[in-house]
């Protein structure tokens, strides 16, 4: 009975935390919808006046980007901005043959009159954060635009973002990520689905009410003064962008999010690359919760609601741990429920996961229909996409939970870059990519075992109870079975 009580308490706590997060998402949806009715009246630089055009530095932090460097440099060279007001830094930590081809390409661009520098350093200390900090030492720009190697900003990108810095309190302007290979596979579709929700629902929902948001590591611009005032880049977490964002906002710098400015980028097409990216994001989020929690709570300049949203924001990745706990314990809970009839009313009252799922369903629909419309056909497509997304997200819960636990415990790990592919259609192949890992993680084996565990959960629905089974959790276990199965088999097959 003691074990059963412990299971019930842990299960219930995880459900309540997920429910609280869902309510926060619902609040962000209301914020998002109200923000759509407002017109932006912020002061802007007059680009017709040469004296108002500020000097901008574009930083391109790269490391062994053999497949996308040429595309990146060609794209950045087309940025439409006065040449005497623009400098480009290629912050190159590469150790492979891409270094030589990048040198040659930069020389060609320099002959066109483009102010582009190849910035090298002797070590990779602090990884991307260290490279950005090193480049900042010699950056001449008042504003620092940052693009990862797989991002392709439009030529007028700076003219759409820099004007907002006319407001001297704005420290960052962040744009929305687009997806050049959204429809490549189920994996890219669900990544795009999740990122769209983050960039519209969460970023707009928080920013419109003055709550903290984060610079997303790329496709944004910093005021150089803001970076320095906030303490500069630090490499003690895997998400240096989230870290600096919070330190800047705690010092009262304002962030501006531009939903209408899209910056196209490439999504990982192989699950091992997606796993690497997910691990870094989720562990970094937990690390920043450890680092920033008390700073947020003690700050006297922000409201209680902003503090609450800030903490939930920093705990985003921890939701994967709660989902894993609920999933794993739901099967013993199924047996406990049917062995103790007097507890059944309690279980009905604890249907928070169903309510939370409905809230997520509603929130994501508003974002989906903005892109695809609100027709019946779109809604049917959305139902399929939501179920697929939800299932695969739960399939990632073990992998991401390990990242979260390591982050909360303070276990350090290297910054592992996400392999880039330069793949846009099914005609392109990723199998020759030299940066892909060849080994299979032990975590993948456990994901296969969890797939079988949830198959047992579905079987249990037929055998528990005296009334011919209990199928209340069957859809949940089916999604977990499919999610872990997808992640397991994709992880195995992506190694061949």
For 64-75, write each residue's pLDDT tens digit.
Answer: 999 899 999 999
| pLDDT attached to residue 190 | 96
Summarize the confidence of residues 97-103 as an average pLDDT: 94
Give the model's confidence band at 466: pLDDT under 50 very low, under 70 low, under 90 confident, else very high.
low
Q: Answer yes or no: is pLDDT of 308 > 70.
A: yes
Closest CA to 383 of 313, 308, 475: 475
Whether 241 is catalytic is yes
Summarize the confidence of residues 271-297 as an average pLDDT: 95
| pLDDT attached to residue 496 | 42
Whether 40 is catalytic is no
pTM of the model: 0.93
Q: Answer yes or no: is pLDDT of 10 > 50.
A: yes
List the single range of 237-246, 401-410, 426-435 with lowest mean pLDDT.
Answer: 426-435
Summarize the confidence of residues 289-294 as an average pLDDT: 97
Give the model's confidence band at 469: pLDDT under 50 very low, under 70 low, under 90 confident, else very high.
confident
Q: Answer yes or no: is pLDDT of 419 > 80.
A: no
Among 92, 148, 196, 241, which one carries the catalytic annotation?
241
> Percent of the chain having pLDDT more than 70?
94
352 versus 353: the higher-pLDDT residue is 353
Contact present, 398 and 324 (Cβ < 8 Å): yes
Give the model's confidence band at 252: pLDDT under 50 very low, under 70 low, under 90 confident, else very high.
very high
| pLDDT attached to residue 49 | 80
| pLDDT attached to residue 467 | 67
Summarize the confidence of residues 228-247 as an average pLDDT: 97
Q: Answer yes or no: is pLDDT of 54 > 50.
A: yes
Summarize the confidence of residues 463-472 as an average pLDDT: 76
| pLDDT attached to residue 45 | 75
List the single range of 28-37, 204-213, 306-315, 457-466 with lowest mean pLDDT.
Answer: 457-466
Give the model's confidence band at 349: pLDDT under 50 very low, under 70 low, under 90 confident, else very high.
low
| pLDDT attached to residue 294 | 97
Among 93, 148, 196, 243, which one carries the catalytic annotation?
93
| pLDDT attached to residue 70 | 95
Q: Answer yes or no: is pLDDT of 283 > 90.
A: yes
Summarize the confidence of residues 468-490 as an average pLDDT: 91
Summarize the confidence of residues 328-354 as an average pLDDT: 78
Give the model's confidence band at 52: pLDDT under 50 very low, under 70 low, under 90 confident, else very high.
confident
378 versus 469: the higher-pLDDT residue is 378
| pLDDT attached to residue 36 | 86
| pLDDT attached to residue 421 | 78
Average pLDDT, the chain: 91
**Which phi and psi (to 5°) does residue 190 adopt?**
-75, -30
């Amino acid at each position: 009975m003691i074990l059963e009580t412990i299971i019930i308490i842990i299960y219930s706590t995880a459900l309540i935390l997920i429910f609280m997060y869902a309510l926060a998402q619902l609040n962000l949806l209301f914020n998002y919808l109200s923000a759509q009715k407002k017109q932006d009246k912020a002061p802007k630089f007059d680009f017709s006046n040469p004296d108002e055009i500020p000097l901008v530095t574009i930083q391109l932090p790269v490391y062994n980007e053999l497949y996308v460097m040429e595309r990146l440099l060609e794209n950045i060279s087309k940025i439409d901005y006065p040449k005497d007001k623009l400098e480009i830094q290629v912050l190159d930590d590469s150790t492979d043959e891409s270094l030589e081809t990048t040198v040659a390409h930069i020389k060609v661009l320099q002959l066109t009159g483009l102010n582009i520098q190849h910035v090298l350093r002797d070590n990779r200390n602090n990884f991307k954060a260290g490279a950005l900090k090193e480049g900042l030492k010699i950056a001449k720009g008042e504003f620092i635009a940052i693009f990862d190697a797989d991002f392709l900003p439009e030529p007028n990108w700076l003219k759409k973002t820099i004007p907002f810095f006319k407001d001297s309190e704005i420290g960052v302007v962040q744009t929305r990520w687009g997806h050049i290979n959204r429809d490549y596979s189920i994996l890219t579709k669900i990544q795009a689905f999740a990122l769209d929700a983050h960039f519209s629902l969460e970023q707009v929902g928080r920013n419109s009410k003055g709550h903290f948001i984060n610079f997303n590591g790329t496709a944004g611009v910093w005021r150089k003064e803001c970076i320095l005032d906030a303490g500069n880049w630090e490499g003690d977490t895997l998400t240096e962008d989230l870290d600096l964002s919070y330190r800047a906002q705690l010092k009262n710098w304002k962030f501006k999010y531009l939903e209408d400015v899209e910056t196209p980028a490439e999504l990982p097409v192989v699950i091992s690359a997606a796993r690497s990216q997910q691990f870094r994001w989720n562990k970094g989020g937990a690390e920043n919760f450890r680092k920033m929690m008390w700073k947020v709570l003690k700050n006297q300049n922000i409201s209680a609601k902003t503090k609450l949203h800030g903490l939930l924001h920093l705990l985003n990745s921890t939701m994967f741990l709660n989902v894993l706990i609920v999933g794993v314990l739901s099967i013993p809970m199924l047996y406990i429920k049917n062995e103790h009839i007097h507890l059944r009313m309690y279980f009905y009252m604890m249907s928070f996961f169903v309510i939370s799922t409905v809230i997520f369903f509603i929130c994501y629909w508003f974002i989906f229909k903005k892109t695809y419309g609100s027709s019946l056909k779109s809604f049917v497509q959305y139902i399929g996409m939501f179920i697929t997304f939800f299932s695969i997200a739960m399939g990632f819960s073990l992998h991401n939970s390990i990242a979260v636990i390591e982050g909360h415990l303070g276990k350090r790990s290297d910054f592992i870059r996400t392999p880039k592919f330069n793949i846009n259609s099914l005609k392109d192949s990723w199998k020759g990519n030299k940066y892909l890992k060849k080994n299979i993680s032990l975590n993948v084996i456990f994901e296969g075992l969890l797939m079988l565990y949830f198959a047992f959960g579905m079987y249990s629905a037929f055998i528990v109870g005296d009334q011919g089974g209990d199928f209340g959790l069957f859809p949940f276990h089916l999604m977990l079975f499919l999610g872990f199965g997808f992640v397991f088999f994709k992880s195995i097959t992506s190694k061949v």
